[in-house]
Every structure is written in structure tokens, then in C-alpha cells.
Chains A and B, each alone.
Chain A
């Protein structure tokens, strides 16, 4: 067997082991929520929604935030850990996706709740926005990374708040919200309308909603092997 075969097998094995280890590290009360020892991808719904109200923009409205959270839950539920990843142009390396982030993210949400009880004597979901924000900031610490990941990259987020924010802000919907225009990146749009400036988003009702039958598509993104430093983007 060649070195490269050895390496691929090793990567598959070690990614699976990391995932299993993360499950093993979950607090006992969290593991007890999981029927018959299976790995549940479900995150505590109330805590997740209380986080989302802080991490997502209020312009989405309550319904919009709920829609994004449901999309996030579906996206996480459909994830297949350690699946083969797209390979970048010019790279012969076969890469695999990260271990399942759900156990880690679930533990983090539960930790936020535990911290809320310890500091404020109340559930995280019952705290006011300022207190929730303070706890989230504290949990995020002083990381070096300023940027948010794109949707696929959000799976690798160390913290669930970054994962949720990356899930949303890496979407075409968020780009449209930023520019207040219906660009609708990555959706099927007639070529003939290409030269037109994207129409303005004028009302909340104009906001594009993800198609319900999708996994919550991310924005089409650069070659994952690329970085601004390498300067590679698709269509090269």
C-alpha cells in the first residue's frame, strides 16, 4: 500500500475517532437525552433559539429567525461526517469532511445554560438579551479568526454560535440582506437579466426565502483549496 493510501485510510479512521470521542465527552445529562446511546444531532431547541435571537439579525423578524433556525437544524441533521470533500483544482489530495459537530455544539449550548443558571439563577432562554449576549461573548473568548465561515465551512466551527452565524451569513439570503438587493446568488436566473442591476429589497416580504426542499444551500463559494492569499477562485 502506498503512502497516499495509508494516509487516506488514516484520515478516515482518525476523523471517525474524533467524532466518537466528542460524543464520549458530552455531559452525562446531555447523553441521557439521547435514546439508547445513539448519536442525536438534535440541539436543545430552546437554548438554540435563544442564541439565534442574539446571533442573527433582527431584520429577519421572529418568523425569519425561526426559519433560519429550522434550516440550521435540518442542515445539521442531514450532515454525513467524514464524507469525501470536493477537491480543488490542481490538488490531488483527497479530503474528508470534519467529524460531526453536533455533540460538541450540543455540549456548548448546555454549557451556556449551565452558566446562566450559575450566574443568574435562570435558564439561558429566560435571560434578557444583554445577559445572553454577555454569556455568548464570554463563551467565544478572544479568538483570532475575524471572518465568518461559509456554510460548508461552518461545520468546522469550534463554537455553535459561529456555526449558526456562518450558516446564515454564508447564505445568498444574507448577501441579499446586506446589499438590500435581490441578487439571489446561486439560484436559477435568466441570463437575459444579467446586465440589470439587482432589484432593491424594499419590504420584509421581498426577502428571498430558502427553498423548503433544500438542505439550506450556501452561497456558491470559491474553491475550498483557495484562499485570498493563493488567489484561486472558481472559473480559473
Chain B
């Protein structure tokens, strides 16, 4: 007999989107919420300084065991890292929180390319605000026409370092404005967590909790008795009620007691397991009535995986840059996130970091002669005197093909006998045709920046990886164009939601985590209507 867990809302996955959704539900609605996480709890906050020390000293994973052996992905899953842990991939995030721009949601209407989302920026603005407040975002707004907001950031932005002040002045000589990247890092005590003090290991671990990560939300709700957490529990299937399209049960296995199946029964199910595992679960949930999996009569589950590619450059600038002032903070510009009028379609962000690439100590000089002791130091000083290195990067959006997808492997199985996912990305024809133009134009803009600001372009390299991907359960106005609606509700199953990255129509041209989080907030408002308001 399976162990049965009954709850109002079953949330599968515990990343940042789930955290935002659950927090809003718990605050506003009288609903029992159970979060099911395949991984385990991360190290306690008090242990993180020690884990950071070992990471710095030896490169050790500060989140050891954050993966399940055998739960791998075949193919090339861009932007995918082991993340089976409470907090999900956000335990590894850099905590940068730019918003998408209004254009991101309407590329078909505005530029005749890609697909529109079934919502607009204005529909998401309040959810963006709420997500920023819930996680604690520090930011100073950019120019209004490039960075529209209806409310200030919850906290003042992270101050620009001496390096970034110089680089801002350098970068703006072309007339392109730069400002500090908004980040979910406290610039004052916030949410019971302290202010950042520039430990510079935001990725992979903040030793003091100044950086937001989802486990803070889950653990606080658990302590308050407003959340049940099933860790080490892998959901393998969703099952519908007989004769109905309502989802009734999540069939799961507790990895600590694998011989005892677990059934989670709920009024509402939320799949919040990222762009690979979310469509994977729906595909695994195939049965006689749903031979292609749940929510998949349109055949769209697993399709339209989308990310953005980057062009990276390293630049020698004509002034000293002191490595280590706050190396993970950066400058951002959204100046190029609108295509040139009359030009070909290209939208990209533009970021600048301090860097030490090519400026480190070395053991041999240019002739190959060995350097030791004082010679190393003298050589190092000579190569850094009066100059420094900066890193530039632009992300441009890659519009997906329908064939960019997650499927089930026909032979390879995980430890529970379920097919592992196969991931294959593909650009749409239009996007593929723009790739060379996009990369060359961004590289040209880098060269123009260097020409105006001074210095030397050391290298330019277009990347092949699609960063911060989404899709696989894309949202659409109806079942013909999307797996879910703009709130994340499955068109075919009224009590099934998919939230976060998998619902992206496109992945924009900047980091998408805040947009995932905002979609979680928006979904919580919608599904929360099924439950009474919580009394204060």
C-alpha cells in the first residue's frame, strides 16, 4: 500500500519560482501546501562559511550531494546543472535580476518575428514588483525609456566599485548608458538576512545569506507551520481522475524508503521543476487516455526550448582595474534591446565586468624563461601597471524552432526505471538566419566601445551555449498555441499548473530568473482564487 499524503496544493520542485508561488499562497490564502523535492536540504546557514572556505581552498562543491546519480540528461541541455536540492538551481545562481523589456513579450507584433507571449509587460509589472520585494532586490533604475518601472526597487542598488565607476565612464563614451545590475543581494538588512559585504562568492555560495536563495523562504514557512516539505521524494507520474481531466494524484517514491510508494493527493498540482524536468514529468505521465502524456493533445509538451546566446569579449583598458573589489557585480545596459529602426532584427543586452583575465601572475615570461619569487612579482606588476582588463558580454535572444525539444529516451532509464530525458535545441529558421549578423553586430559594437573609450580588444568569442533556457511547456492563448495559459494553468487540465522557465515563449536577451519568479507570483494569484483568503 502506498503512503498517502493529502494536501490542498502540491508543488513539485522547490526552485525560485516555487518559492515565490508558495510564499504568496501562504501569505494570502488558507490552503495547505506541500512542496515535493527530489533532492535533500542544503547545508545549514551556519555551516556555509566553512563550506565557502573549502570551495576557495580546494574547489569543493559547497552544496555536496546536490544531485541524484543517474538523473542525467542525454543530449546537450544548455544552462542545465545538477540541482536536485531544496532551492533547486537557484542554490547556484548569481542573483542578478534584470527584468525582460516590453519588447520581449511582443516580438511578432512589433518586429514580425518569433511568437508573442499571451501577456504583456504591463500584465507582469506588478508581479515583477512583488517578486522583487519577496526576494529582496537591490537596484538603481536605469533611464526610464530603457528601464520602465512603476515602483522603486525595494533596496538601493549595490554601489558601483571604483573599478565599475571607471568602466562606466569608459563604456559611456559611445553614448550608451550603463547602470548597476539589479541583484537579489541585500544592501541593507532585509528579510531577516544581513547586508552584503562583498565576499565575492555569490556564485556559488554566499556565506552570510545576504544573497537570496529559495530555501530561506521554504524554511521560514516550515517554521511557521504553513508548509509541508517532502524532501528526497521523486514524483514519477501524475494521474487524472477516472472520467475526468482533473489531476488527482502525484505518484512518487521516497528515495530513503524506495520500496514504499508515495501518493500525493491534492486539489491543485503545480509543476515547478525547470525546463527539463517539468515537460519530462508530463511526458512520463502518459496513460491510455493520454498516450502522449498530460497536457499534450497539441503535441507541444517538450517543444520550443529557447535560450539566449552570448558574445564575450575581453578588453585591455587604459587604466588600472583592481581585481577583487566586487567581481560579480556588473554594469548593465538595455540600450540595444530594441532593434535599429529599419535594420534587421537584433536585440541584446550589454554588460561590463572587472576582470583579471590575462593579468594574473605567471611562471614563465614571453620567451618561456622561468620566473620565480621576485621575478614573478615584478613581471606581474609590469603587466598590470596603468592598465587593466574588462569583460564585455551581450546576450541576444534565440527564437526557437518547434523541434527544439525535450523527449523521452527510448532505451536509457534512471534508477526507477523511467526513461531519461533527451534534450536537443534548435533555432527557428529565421533566428538561424540572423545568427551571424547578430554575432558580428555585437562584436562591432564592442569594437566601437573600445575605439571610443580607449584600449585594446583582446578577444571576441561568440558562444554556442544557450543560456538561461526555458520553454518545453510554453504558454499560449489557447491549446493550439500553448501547453498552459498566461497564468500557467494547463489548457487541458483545470487543476494543473506549470510555472516558471518551462512556460517561457522566448527566453529574452537577459537573465530570466526574475521573470520566472514573477510568473510564479502571477500563478499564485490565479490558483489562489480557489481557496479562501487567509485571515490576518
Contacts and interface: CB of A to CB of B under 8 A. Distances in A.
B353 interface: yes
Contact of B162 (A175, A197, A224, A230): A197
A54 B372 contact: yes
Contacts of B92: 87, 89
Interface residues of A, number: 89
* B interface SS class: loop
Interface string A1-20: 11111001000000000000
Interface in A63-115: 75, 78-80, 83-92, 94, 97
Contact of B361 (A83, A172, A178, A229): A178
A1 B70 contact: yes
Given A90-B79, A146-B362, A234-B327, A59 B60 contact: no
A88 B195 contact: no
Interface stretch (A29-37, A42-50, A119-127, A184-192): A184-192
A86 B324 contact: no
Given A97-B60, A191-B158, A231-B312, A2 B200 contact: no
B330 A194 contact: no
A196 B320 CA distance: 14
B62 A147 contact: no
Contact of B67 (A94, A137, A228): A94
A22 interface: no
Contacts of A198: 162, 322, 325
A185 B327 contact: yes
A128 interface: no
A203 interface: no
A183 B312 contact: no
A215 B511 CA distance: 34
A133 B375 CA distance: 12
Which of A84, A177, A178, A190: most chain B CB closer than 10 A? A178
Contact of A194 (B161, B328, B365): B161
A234 B374 contact: no
A69 to B, nearest CB: 13
B177 interface: no
B327 A220 contact: yes
B56 interface: yes
A139 B202 CA distance: 39
A90 B310 contact: no
Which of A89, A97, A147: most chain B CB closer than 10 A? A89
B240 interface: no
Interface string A123-153: 0000000000100110010110111100111
A231 B391 contact: yes
A59 B374 contact: yes
Interface stretch (B226-234, B376-384, B471-479): B376-384
A151 to B, nearest CB: 6
A56 to B, nearest CB: 6
Contact of A147 (B202, B320, B362): B362
Contacts of B528: none
Given A88-B81, A94-B67, A136-B372, A189 B57 contact: no
30 contacts: A4-B70, A53-B373, A78-B57, A84-B65, A89-B203, A92-B77, A97-B59, A133-B372, A137-B372, A140-B363, A147-B360, A178-B384, A183-B322, A186-B199, A186-B200, A186-B201, A191-B158, A197-B162, A215-B58, A220-B200, A221-B56, A231-B461, A231-B463, A232-B312, A233-B353, A233-B355, A233-B391, A234-B94, A234-B204, A236-B94
Identify the 8 closest CB pairs spanning chains A and B, nearest first. Answer: A185-B324, A231-B312, A152-B59, A235-B328, A169-B361, A215-B57, A220-B200, A188-B197
Given A86-B204, A187-B199, 12 more contacts: A3-B412, A86-B59, A88-B81, A136-B370, A152-B57, A190-B197, A194-B158, A194-B161, A194-B162, A215-B54, A234-B94, A234-B203
